[in-house]
Amino acid sequence: MREWLVFLSEYAIVVIDFLALILIVVGTIEVMIKGASVLFSSPTGHEQREVWIRYARWLVAALTLQLGADIIETAITTSWDAVGRIAAVAVIRTFLNYFLENDLAEVRNRQRETPEG
């Protein structure tokens, strides 16, 4: 039974990490295309801010998926060294996610306060 759990968990980790990779790649391509066009066409910077907010959303989604994969990985890991490595990576991803979410909330609040937002 444990072998099946390990097999399914390893497969799930790969699939989840792949999905996170897709989100990051798609978000990066989008920000490159939209960012380049907005860079030359937006005198106010409002559109640039929207491009970066959208990119932050892509990154938050990817980080959340990767954190989920880390949690699954800790369930099947037998080595304390591996658990420590996974925990360190999970803490870094959690902090990145936390600060990205805070930045997004701050920008949303500022947009509500300004008439152009």
Amino acid of residue 21: L
Residue 43 — very low, low, confident or very high, per pLDDT cuts 50/70/90?
A: low
**pLDDT for residue 117 is more than 80:** no
Q: What is the pLDDT of residues 14-30, one digit of tens each?
A: 999 999 999 999 999 99
pLDDT, average across residues 29-54? 84
The H or E element that residue 93 is part of is: helix 80-113
Cβ-contact 60, 100 below 8 angstroms:
yes
Q: Number of structural domains, the chain?
A: 1
In terms of Cβ atoms closer than 10 Å to its own Cβ (0-12, 13-18, 19+), residue 47 is middle
The parent domain of residue 52 ranges over: 2-113
